[in-house]
A and B are shown apart, each in its own frame.
Chain A
Amino acid sequence: MNHAYSITAAELAARGRDDIPPELLSSAHLIYSSPATLAFNSPGAQGFGVKRAGLAVPGSVMLLVAPACCGRNTATLGCEASLAERFFYLMQDDTDIVTGRHLARIPEAVKEVCDSCAVRPSAVMICITCVDALLGTDMERVCRKASDYAGVPVVPCYMYALTREGRLPPMVSVRRSVYSLLQPREKVPTSVNILGFFSPLRDDTELYTLLRSAGVRSIREISRCADYEEYQKMAEANFNLVLNQEARHAAADLQKRLGIPSVELARLYQTDKIANQYRLLGQAVGAEFDDAPFRERAEQAILNFKNTFGHRTFAVGEWLNADPFELSLSLIRNGFAVSKIFGTVGGSNFVYVKKIAALSPDTKIYSNLSPSMMFYDGADAHCDTVIGRDAMYYHPALPGVAWNDERQPFGYAGVAALFDALGKALSGKEAAR
């Protein structure tokens, strides 16, 4: 192994989804750790991991019950003053991790945490890690006991990295946790929740306008809830819009507990597919959306970019607000070239690989996590523009955009914003990082 492994889209499509080479399967090799992969190796290290996500409930605090190593990076998250005051740690020692004796201390720790807060927390989120996964801890029971003892809702958040490729990965589980405090309320037909992200959609997202045109008055996202009461109003929603499949499990739980049905939309960058999705949403909610002006704006942004910068050849990473394969397909369909994709191929995006193979068979696919990426040479790029924070790391000399802001792009507004950002980056008007 002395060069970075890659496979062309044509070769990969020909092998089929059941014969993905082991170099692209994270379970088949050691996982390379570079700054390009930080978000994948440790979802909590940057952006929203379980720890920060668990604090999405307004007014809540988090008690991390774990060995010290699991809480270490929280110091970085805590740099944001408002978050720093919301993290507490009950550290496990060697005896705890063998005997589980730390569980008996949790109720008292929860009470001590609540007593130390200037404002009593709305809830205490207990974050537990691989240790309790292996000990088989019944944290629901421990939380009930702690709740009775401290007089505050206590909710478990499972940061079980060991189960990342299992049925209920941590980022799926934590989405259920943060909505689990919602209590039944009378339904309000003009109220809708948006589930999926821990930060709001961009303000210019057309979804807000389209929903309002259909008579929706209240559109709630957990990240926009000012306080616990506002958060509880999410229970009155007529339906949930799920914009990230990691929220599917939470939506199913809300349907079961509170009777709120859900509709799922994907984040796409192909404008015709976005249009199709809105048409289907309209049918589901009994409305006809006029999305033409928004689509026109997005397609105009693509055209403007193309007219200004001509034919560009992209490298697309996966540390960004998009599925790298769907975004690459969108670029190719819009007349650009994509020479490289750094992504994780799986069941849900293999369909895009096949379509890319048909239009751009020589596009190379790399796995960020492959040990061979230690030998990746960005100087031999065969591309002139990059999208994604990882792709930027590999090609520091090339212009591009990280496209991983916390404000979430979605729909036509997301497409337009991406091309506007690319235009600015290529014009040198804005530092892309």
Chain B
Amino acid sequence: MKSLLKHLSPFAPDQSGAVSALFDFGGLIVICDAGGCTGNICGFDEPRWFIRKSAVFSAGLRDMDAILGRDDKLVSKLQNAMDGSGLKFSAIIGTPVPAIIATDFKALKRMAEKRTGLPAITVPTTGTRHYDRGASDAWLELFKTFATEKLDIDSGTVGILGASPLDFPTLDAGNQLSDALKKGGWKSVKCYGMGAGLDDVKKASSAAKNIVVSPAGLAAAKYLQKTFGTPYEVRCPWLPQQVLDALPALAGKRTLVIHQQFAANAVRDEILKHDATSQVDVASWFMMESEFMRENDFHIESEEAFIEAVANGGYDTIVCDNRLRVALPRTQAFQIIDFPHFAVSGRLLDEVK
């Protein structure tokens, strides 16, 4: 059955992706739920939550709130929490509850802005999609709300779009990605979501270029290109050293790389650098942008399809989060190289929990 998971547990949902994208910008984040979703997002999908104070709240919805659609009550609570807090904006994140009762997020945004006098972002996530969809929507909304002014271009500044702990398995990924670009000659690197702040978002139009490191950042990159003419490039300039170290041995072999698409593509490029005749396919449980796919790349639709693809693929090696191993028959002969993907397993290279 396509929607049945018998070996794996569910991956990070869209609401976690939305929170992850907005977590670093000094806003008040309200998860429009009864409590459980907030616990999951904070307690499992946002590793930064454990190591620093953050303004993440649950709306604390109860059955009558959902039945009666008490948006005004939610906005009053939001206003009370914002008053005197020094927070710069509010964000309301959807869950299955508002999805079912058809909450009007555009109206919520207007109400929140009117009551607080500050910008508000709403992301109508539903809890049924993967994290990258929610992150993509949140990035887009963030730039639409705050990057409104066309500034002079600073030829030494580059932006990084699509970076989050859900996409890269270390809290230091922002620095690592930035350092890699600085080595390439950029003087100033703004890694949105992992280092760059809200003021940098406001000045996004001054970047000479944006580098998109995961599919979640692509919609925002296209928006910035359309609005300000900022060109973008899809590439992942950094990979964890432990993954890079394992790749030379894969030269000439048949390999499947499973991760977020742009990181997986970077792994493929590295393998092909060692031996261009290597056969490397890329697959992902998450967004697969067709223009960055090669022949034999595929989207993984279900656990069942994953097992079948591996069984029939004839791969010597799979580069993926080690957690996926539980779904694969022990009898199959292939090597797994661990490339942690927090959205899959909740594991970081530098464990913080």
Contact = CB atoms under 8 A, between A and B. Distances in A.
A433 interface: no
A35 B352 CA distance: 13
A41 B85 CA distance: 22
Contacts of A161: 33-36
Instruction: List the 8 shortest-distance A-B pairs measured between CB atoms, nearest first.
Output: A42-B39, A69-B127, A161-B34, A69-B13, A68-B10, A30-B57, A45-B39, A75-B9
B34 A89 contact: no
Nearest to A370: B81
B58 A41 contact: yes
B215 interface: no
Interface in A63-95: 66-76, 78, 84, 87-94
Contacts of A84: 326
Nearest to A163: B63
Contacts of A135: 100
Interface residues of B, number: 66
A402 to B, nearest CB: 16
A377 to B, nearest CB: 11
B62 A69 contact: no
A292 interface: no
A371 B96 contact: no
Interface of A: 1-2, 26-35, 38, 40-46, 66-76, 78, 84, 87-94, 96-98, 102, 105, 108-109, 112-113, 116, 129-131, 133-135, 159-166, 369, 371, 374
B42 interface: yes
Contact of B36 (A26, A46, A129): A129
B164 interface: no
A160 B66 CA distance: 12
A78 B77 CA distance: 35
Contact of A42 (B36, B101, B345): B36
Interface in B9-42: 9-16, 30-31, 33-40, 42
B86 interface: yes
A32 B29 CA distance: 10
B1 interface: yes
Given A1-B83, A30-B78, A69-B96, A113 B61 contact: no
19 contacts: A27-B60, A29-B77, A33-B31, A41-B38, A41-B39, A41-B42, A42-B38, A44-B36, A66-B96, A72-B11, A88-B4, A89-B5, A91-B3, A91-B4, A91-B5, A112-B4, A113-B4, A130-B34, A134-B101
A31 B29 CA distance: 11
A381 to B, nearest CB: 17
A377 B84 CA distance: 17
Contact of A67 (B12, B57, B126): B126
